Structure 1
């Protein structure tokens, strides 16, 4: 081989090597636990197949309906807020003339996401306590004069949405900003030449061209929203048990498994959540053509 010849790079084995670690973790902490949960959901304590018996039993539990109703209210608020505001902020950042300001703002938006869920709740407990919160005047103006009033059970969906948006929106803003950067500048320039303002450009060009990214965000935001556990669990403790310990389906599954020893019922609740997430993802994927290859 002469010095000018280039040896071909074998990428097949390298690709498998790169995904091997993730595949092992996915199997160990994703596929295997899911399969075991499905097995438990269709059997009883003695390993006997009971069909849909576990599902009908937990669905008849008086705590099942409220838990799923709570998560439904939360999901509607969370999805609307995260989709509308993150996309809007990303479009505004993309339109900033000074790139340095845009980069600084993206960094600041992303910072809260560096906090773990527990730390985020603790920060918000401080912010929601009128006696120590820097926003105490705002809380008072809203008629919330005490910590007990703020953590009233009816306020929990709003509080959880605020916590989730504060911690998760920054990452999605960065993702949406990256998607907007994939739009060719000549397309945007042509729109400006045709007289399209910022609103019409965003509505008719930018949003359609990042539609698949928005659907991708909606799927992951929905899946994450159904898994609420740490946040309501800590708020339930902070409220001195005024909030139900089975406020979310995951909390209900936890109570069934570790307080009542009903692992089969807890697995049935988990499978309910799994099916709910799969249905939502399937609807979004099929209606949006997320994986459709464009010519």
Structure 2
């Protein structure tokens, strides 16, 4: 039975993961006629005036989002774990998790309503920052933190539940020994729980990084909803989409996808090395 499950997963991974990646690799190093193009496609997309702004948008979004995830998710998980009332702890975890039940597109549509000061329940807060219209809210300079908030709202709950489970796996004897030594809740969290969560935090960073580099749905829907106030090449994935389906240049789109892959792998390696993800206890 176990081999059957593994075989199905392997087949799906090959069909929808490995083979498309190999095809993208082929496209990135060939021209439209199938001839070997060397680094020409990479030179072309890197020289595109839209590439660096799109890369900057994604980079700023990732910095804000990953910082919020690592700090706030870990803090909230530890805080919920300290609650002794079981019903309250369970209720909070459910509340945190519920936004993740919304699909990405549905979440963005909800936020389109929330970001409109004329209709949003938080319109007063938006006007307090001098944002009196939807157009003022979604100017490109405001988008990295907005996208980070949307991503945190939809994804943080699941990670809080995972971190909570990891905290439950910490030996009660270790926690009790810390309390006997006179450690308070904050000292226990800082010196015991956080170091033991290091691998899980690293794993969260890697998975969130992989998802964050694929930023597409949020800016694409905002671009359509704002009549192109948000450009349709705001992120690298959108730029790849433009290459493939507007310019009919699948080779350039594949080159962008490989650049994203290399960047994501390099940054993931930092999390692996700094987080000791594969170290044995």
State TM-score, norm by structure 2.
Answer: 0.98
Decide which moves more: 53-62 or 274-283.
274-283
Q: Matched residues in 2 for 1:51 and 1:217: separation?
A: 36
**Residue 245 in 1 paired to residue 232 in 2?**
yes
Offset of 1:52 from its aligned partner? 1.2
Q: Matched residues in 2 for 1:211 and 1:90: separation?
A: 13
Deviations 1:63-96 (A, max 9, x none): 0111101101001000000111000000000000
Q: Matched residues in 2 for 1:161 and 1:40: separation?
A: 32
Aligned CA-pair RMSD:
0.9
Q: 1:129 aligns with which of 89, 92, 116?
A: 116
**Residue 90 in 1 paired to residue 52 in 2?**
no
Match of 2:92 in 1: 105
Q: 2:49 aligns with which of 62, 65, 79?
A: 62
8 Å Cα contact 2:159/2:204 also seen in 1:
yes
Match of 2:129 in 1: 142
Q: Matched residues in 2 for 1:174 and 1:31: separation?
A: 30
Deviations 1:97-143 (A, max 9, x none): 10111011101111110110000000001111111111111111111
Q: 1:201 aligns with which of 188, 202, 211?
A: 188
The secondary structure found in structure 2 opposite 1:121 is helix
Q: 2:141 aligns with which of 138, 151, 154?
A: 154
8 Å Cα contact 2:118/2:133 also seen in 1:
yes
**Residue 287 in 1 paired to residue 274 in 2?**
yes
Match of 1:173 in 2: 160
Offset of 1:192 from its aligned partner? 1.5
Structure 2 unaligned residues grouped into runs of 5+: none
Q: Matched residues in 2 for 1:288 and 1:87: separation?
A: 14
Decide which moves more: 262-271 or 187-196.
187-196
Decide which moves more: 265-274 or 188-197.
188-197
Q: Matched residues in 2 for 1:16 and 1:78: separation?
A: 38
**Rg (Cα) greater in structure:** 1
Offset of 1:15 from its aligned partner? 2.1
Q: Matched residues in 2 for 1:163 and 1:67: separation?
A: 19
Kindly tell me the number of residue pairs found equivalent between the two proteins.
281
Offset of 1:289 from its aligned partner? 2.4
Q: Matched residues in 1 for 2:3 and 2:38: separation?
A: 39
Deviations 1:236-271 (A, max 9, x none): 112221111111000000000000001000000000
State TM-score, norm by structure 1.
Answer: 0.93
**Residue 227 in 1 paired to residue 214 in 2?**
yes
The secondary structure found in structure 2 opposite 1:132 is coil
Offset of 1:178 from its aligned partner? 0.4
Match of 1:6 in 2: none
Decide which moves more: 133-142 or 111-120.
133-142
Match of 2:243 in 1: 256
Match of 1:163 in 2: 150
Offset of 1:280 from its aligned partner? 1.3
Q: Matched residues in 2 for 1:284 and 1:87: separation?
A: 16
Where does 1:37-56 land on structure 2 (aligned, <5 Å)? 37-56=24-43
**Residue 28 in 1 paired to residue 28 in 2?**
no
